[in-house]
Structure formats: C-alpha cells, structure tokens
Amino acid sequence: EHATVPASTRRIKPTLLVSRLYQPSNLREQESRLPGEMTCKSQRLMQQAGLIHPSNPGCYYYLPATVRSMEKLVRVIDQEMQGIGGQKLDMPSLCSAHLWKTSERWDLMGKELFRLKDRHGADYCLGPTHEEAVTTLVAHQATLSYRQLPLLLYQITRKFRDEPKPKFGLLRGREFYMKDMYSFDASEEAAYETYESVCQAYTRLFARLGLRCVQVQADPGNIGGKLSHEFQLPADIGEDRLLVCENCSFSANVETMSSDKSDCPQCKTGTLVESKGIEVGHTFYLGKKYSQMFNANFSNAQNKPSIAEMGCYGLGITRILAAAIEVLSTEEGICWPGILAPYQACVLPPKKGSKEDAASGVAEELVHTFVETLPRLRGEVVLDDRTQMTIGKRLKDASRLGYPYVIVVGQGALEETPKFEVICQQTAETMFLSKDGLLDLL
C-alpha cells in the first residue's frame, strides 16, 4: 500500500538562502599560504568566492558551488559525447602495474605516476589516463563484431599525476577530473572519421560554453600515435605556445615545429603569430599501438580476428572550469559561461530597517513565482537573506560569485506596478522590469 500525500499538505520547497550556503572564504589565511607566483586570477577568485579550498599541493576541496558547476559541465559533455555514440563507463583508479609494464609506460611515465603497493607487495598506480585499462577491457570481449564498431567508451573520473609544479589552482592539479574517451574502429579510414566526429563534438561543446577555442596540431607525446590536436584557450597565463598563421588555417603547438621560422609551412606565404594558450582538450589517433599490445580484436566481415584501430580523447573538466573563469572574469568577480553558473539568479531583498523594508516579502514571493512558473529554475534561484548587510555589500558578494542575473528588490517593488532592478552579467546591463518582464528575461 502506498501512502498518498494530499495536495494541501505538500510542502513548498524551502527557499535557497545565501546565509545557509556553504561558501567559506577565508582569504587572509589562504593568502599567507599561497606564494604570489603560484596564484592566478581564477585561483584567487575561486578561493575568494568560496568555490575551492586548498588542501595539499595540487589538491583542492571542491566546495558545493563548484560541484554544481561541474555537474552542469558534465551534463553538457555527456550530451555531446552521447550525441556521437559515446557510452559512459567508470574504470578503477587503482591500476595494476602489470598493465603499465606491458605498455612500458610504467617506466616512461617516470615520476609523474603516483605509485603504491598493496598489502601483498604488488605494485599499483593511481590512473593518470586509461589507455591500458580500456584496451584490456575490450580485449576480454571474445565476440566483438565489426558490426558493433565504432565503439566509443568514455568516463569522467579523477586522474592522478604527480606534476612537478602543481600551480594556478584547478588549472594544474595533481588530482583532477578528466573526461577520457577511447574509440575502437575497424579500419584506419573509419578511425579517422571517428577522430573527426570527436573534434567536431569538442568544437560544439566550446561554442555552447561561449569559449573561443583554437584547435592546433599537437605533439602526440608518449601516448603514441600519429595524429593529434589540442584545443587551446588563448590566455596569457597559458603554458603552451601556439603558432597561428595570419593567412591560412594553419595552427600548431610550438612543440610540433622542428624549426621556428616564422613562415607558414602550409601556405608558405603567411606569417606565423605566436600566442599563449591553456590546453583544455587533447585528441589522439592511436592506430594499433595499444590494441596490438593488449590484443584488442574484433571479428571482421570475413569472420576473421582483426586488430582494432584506436583513438583517445581527453577533456580537462576542472581545468575547463578554471580556464573559463580565467578568460571571462574581471579582477573583481567571476563571470561564468552562462550555462555553468552554479546558480542562475540571486534576489536581494532590501536592508532591514531601511525605508524599502516593506518590500522584503515581495522578494520571497518573487523567488517562488520564478520556480513555480519556470521549472528549469528550480534550485537555481537564491535569496540573499543577509538583510543586516547593505545592498551594496551584498551586490559585491553577488558579483564575486557570479550570477547571470541579480535582481534587486527596492523602492520600485512597492509601486503600483512593481518594478525590479536586474543586473545581467553577460551584457553588464542594468534594467528595470516588471514581474512579467523578469519572467520573460529569465
């Protein structure tokens, strides 16, 4: 028997109150712990707004607002990856050394690999990436048919890398979130097609986030393979140097250039202009390097075993968040890609005891109207109930955390046709709107 709750007793969802949100910002302590050269705008802003808290070098507490934002990013990435046929899984972070010795990366990775032993003395590492793991997984499937290809498997998990210089907050951590996808194809041509479709999905993703990304030719590094691109976000604090032709579509990471002449190797006439970038994504065509090693076969149209063609594709989840903040924000406050803001709107009731105080009930009503009328705003609108503080102080806090919309309930709310002041972050515009006007805007 199921108990039914009568409509009259259904409880209204409690309003999200700023006074109750866990956004600790202990700046004084943090500043003394952070040597100046290790900080950057995004790190400073994220700590000021109570988004992250440093724990040990390259490791952070991701506080509730960051987790909200990260979950939104994950949702968008899931849509794009599943849109091209990606299937999500989750692989162990604790990886047996055995696999890494087979690929010889146990030695090649050097000190970047976090190594540990279990109680029996067996060697393990904390996964910095998962080519070995996913390839051996696919190799275990005896019946993989060419009809099931391309197979695209991805995960969004913590990765561990003992970076020589963890710095710039979430931009270079030792423990961070990455989306890593691996593709298995029947032929080289098919693998190139898959590679291209992932690059297009990445391009769409960054466009949806409103981030101007450049796709550059990259060095395949120790992952192995022939074709590789990086998705770079132009920024002065970026650690990669990019060369972009003024004349044609050529763009590359300096690392790939054997000579650094300034003539374009593609059009021969254009000049290469150097800039800096933050690497937010990386794609690799791997060929048969890992599939051969681990015996990842499929049965081809002639029903004969054939070695799969692979690709791998990374996106730095936590790095994208920090990089977006780095390139979009001002020195004073965070500006998010709209769809990633932890909350979509903040409503400010008047200060207690001020002459507009009578409008404070209107503020609470407004929040309820938003969430009742626009279901997608549920859980997205907060009420800054710290009414002992001036509007000015609360506005400053609001711009520090970054809400796409901040709505001030003041004198205008008490007029016959109530009007509200709205500050739109994307356009930096201030408008005075009626309740209906607000609903249209939001």
Query: Contact residues for Mg ion (CB under 5 A)?
Result: 279, 282
From Mg ion, ligand ATP, none, which one binds at residue 178 (CB under 5 to 8 Å depending on kind)?
A: ligand ATP
Pairing of strands 251-253, 240-245: antiparallel
**155 touches, from Mg ion, ligand ATP, none (C-beta below 5 to 8 Å by class):** none
If contact means CB under 5 to 8 A according to the sort of partner, which of Mg ion, ligand ATP, none does residue 280 touch?
ligand ATP
Residue 340 and residue 69 in contact, taking contact as beta carbons nearer than 8 Å: yes
Shortest distance, position 252 Cβ to Mg ion, whole Å: 13
Distances (CA, A) of 162 to 59, 105, 124, 211: 11, 15, 14, 29
Gap between the Cα atoms of 252 and 24, Å rounded: 41
Q: 406 near 370, Cβ under 8 Å? A: no
Taking a C-beta distance cutoff of 8 angstroms, is the pair 95, 132 a contact?
Answer: yes
Measured from the CB of residue 181, what is the shortest distance to ligand ATP in angstroms? 11
| 161 vs 435, beta carbon nearer ligand ATP | 161
Q: Enumerate residues 111-140 that contact ligand ATP by CB under 6 A.
A: 129
- CB burial of 324-342 (b: ≥16 within 10 Å; e: otherwise) equals bbbbbbeeebbbbbeebbb
Which residues have CB under 8 Å from 382's CB, separation 6+? 15, 16, 17, 18, 21, 343, 345, 346, 347, 403
- Least separation, in Å, of the C-beta of 172 and ligand ATP? 4
Residue 158 or residue 368: which is nearer to ligand ATP going by CB?
A: 158
Residue 139 sits at the vertex; the CA angle it makes with 138 and 144, to the nearest 5 degrees, is 70
Q: Least distance in Å: CB of 72 to Mg ion?
A: 24
Cβ atoms within 10 Å of 434's Cβ, excluding its own: 14
Residue nearest to Mg ion (CB): 282
Give least dist CB 163 to ligand ATP, A. 5
Which residues 6+ apart lie within 8 Å of 371 measured at CB? 13, 377, 378, 379, 380, 381
Choose the binding region for ligand ATP from 19-27, 173-181, 184-192, 404-412 (rule: CB under 6 A): 173-181
Q: Six-digit token pair at 66?
A: 């960051």
Interior/surface letters 160-170, b for 16+ CB within 10 angstroms, e for the rest? bbbbeebbbbb
Map the footprint of ligand ATP across residues 263-282, applying CB under 6 A.
279-282
Total residues at interface with ligand ATP (CB under 6 A): 15
Per rule CB under 6 A, is residue 394 in the interface with ligand ATP? no
Candidate list 68, 130, 167, 172; residue touching ligand ATP; CB under 6 A: 172
* Residue of minimal Cβ distance to ligand ATP: 316
> What are residue 17's phi and psi, to 5 degrees?
-105, 130
- Considering only 124, 160, 176, 290, the residue that binds ligand ATP (CB under 6 A) is 176
Q: Which residue number, 100 or 343, has a Cβ lying nearer to ligand ATP?
A: 100
Q: Which does 127 bind (CB under 5 to 8 A by kind): Mg ion, ligand ATP, none?
A: none
Figure out which of the listed residues 78, 123, 163, 193 binds ligand ATP, where binding follows CB under 6 A.
163
The CA distance from 280 to 294, in Å, is 29
Query: Would you count residue 205 as binding ligand ATP (CB under 6 A)?
Result: no
Q: Which is nearer to ligand ATP, 15 or 39 (CB)?
A: 39
> Of ligand ATP, Mg ion, none, which one sits near residue 144, judging by CB under 5 to 8 A according to partner kind?
none
User: Considering the complex, what minimum distance in angstroms separates the CB of residue 340 from Mg ion?
Assistant: 22
Question: Which residues inside 310-349 make contact with ligand ATP, applying CB under 6 A?
Answer: 314, 316, 318-319
> How many other CB atoms are there within 10 angstroms of residue 314's CB atom?
22
Q: Which residues pair with 305 in a beta bridge?
A: 299
Residue 173 binding partner per list ligand ATP, Mg ion, none, with a CB distance cut-off of 5 to 8 Å that depends on partner kind? ligand ATP
> Residues in the site for ligand ATP, rule: CB under 6 A?
129, 161, 163, 172-173, 176, 178, 279-282, 314, 316, 318-319
